[in-house]
Structure 1
Amino acid sequence: MEFHRKLNGGHRGARHFWREMLPRIKYRNPTVPIAISRHQDAAGPSLLHIYTSTAPSKTTTPADAPTLTPDTPAPTHTIDIRRKHESEILDLLIEHTGATPIPATEQELEEQAEIAEFKERSEKDRVEVRDKLMRVRREEELLRLARGGATNTA
């Protein structure tokens, strides 16, 4: 996989795929080697190269597109991932490799539900703390004004 170090130039989806989805893929497929090449050129390529030993060669990018990958055997599939959302990239990867998604186990579903519940509670707590802090600040301001103090102009 190769893409620009920053989000500029349509590399956002590639970067998000690398940060969010690739670790999950690697966790489920520990023996699959994964190489990442991040370059400095925002106008440079954003490509996902797939190397397999049995599938016929299928390229979705122009053959003359320069790549920054080292000299290796030609990839079985090369997918142009510029300006694509990370879920689109995952769909293309599944399509080109013939992979089958593994359904979540009961334990994973329970963990996801716990995380969602925790996030909901934490958001509620965040709002309560912010409201309390704003009330305290407002009361302090009113007390200061009642004592004849000047308002903050900073």
Structure 2
Amino acid sequence: MVNPGTRMNLLRALLALRHGPGAAILPPEITRIHMDFAIRWNDGHFGPRKFWVNCLPRLKFWNPAVPMIVNRSTKQEGPATMSIYFRQLSADETASTSTSATATPGGPKKPVLTGLSALPLAQQPRSSVSGEFPAPPAGEGERVVTIDMKNVHSDRILEEFLAKTGARLVKPTPNEEVEMRQVREREEKGDADRVIVKAFMDDKRKKQAMLEKIKQEADAIKAANQ
């Protein structure tokens, strides 16, 4: 049986992944997300780096089927750009999305793979730390929307991303809100307990140091009288 402390730590990690900046569901037209920025955070690349660390994991959690490529390079003077690839909807798909009340016989058609998504996996771009895979141009049946991330705060990047993609924010359920409150209360109690323990240990070390000093002085007096 998992002890309460371990369970709470696992719950905290799961809730942190499920909810927070970047927790959003992308529309089905988005086929991939590609980020290009420098490895180091200076020269205007801090915002993109923070978005990658804080927001992209949640986006990936809620949209596991959407490839999210991070191409970093050593060129600090280079641009920091996010490229969002959209699949162009066919006339039939556009009509089906506007008339959601009707259903075609045999169920909905599977989305057609277009552009890079139609390539074999080995030929598709992948994340790199050497600038090996910059954002490619839009393929047939695709369009690309870009976001200039250089010298932009991560919050502003997220706002522009949500506006341009039409992503739907994910809100915690009532049960998750209760769990999140329990996690916060446990963290606050842990902080208070750590303050108490630190004060106790500091006092204990101070007393031990005083006793050691007294012992050394006594040994010195004893040695002088011999």
TM-score (norm 2): 0.55
Q: Secondary structure at the match of 2:87?
A: coil
Per-residue Cα deviation, 1:2-32 (whole angstroms, up to 9, x for no partner)? 1111212222221121111111111112222
Change (3 A) 1:70 1:82: closer
Q: Distance in 2 between matches of 1:36 and 1:98?
A: 21
* More contact order relative to length (CA 8 Å, sep ≥ 6): 2
Give 4+ residue runs of structure 1 displaced > 4 Å after superposition.
none
Q: Distance in 2 between matches of 1:71 and 1:98?
A: 23
Give RMSD over aligned pairs: 2.1
Q: Distance in 1 between matches of 2:183 and 2:152?
A: 28
* Deviation for aligned residue 1:50: 0.9
| TM-score relative to the length of structure 1 | 0.78
Describe how 1:108-147 pairs up with structure 2 within 5 A: 108-147=176-215
Q: Is the 8 A contact 2:38 2:76 kept in 1?
A: yes
Where 1:7 maps in the other structure, the secondary structure is: coil
Aligned residue in 1 for 2:154:
86
> Of Structure 1 and Structure 2, which has the larger fraction of its residues in strand?
2
After superposing the two structures, state which structure 1 stretch, 76-85 or 130-139, moved more: 76-85
**Equivalence for 2:81:** 47
Shift in Å, 1:109: 1.4
1:40-79 correspondence to structure 2 within 5 Å: 40-54=74-88, 69-73=134-138, 76-79=144-147
| TM-superposed deviation, 1:34 | 1.0
- Among 152, 172, 175, the alignment partner of 1:107 is 175
Aligned-partner SS, 2:55: helix
- Structure 2: how far apart are the matches of 1:51 and 1:105? 30
SS of corresponding position for 1:52:
strand
Displacement, 1:146?
2.5
Displacement of 1:70 in angstroms is 4.6
Report % sequence identity. 31
Residue identity opposite 2:45 in structure 1: H
Aligned residues: 137
CA pair 6-107 structure 1, distance change in 2 beyond 3 A: farther
- Look up the match of 1:26: 60
Structure 1: where are the runs of 5+ without partners? 56-67, 150-154
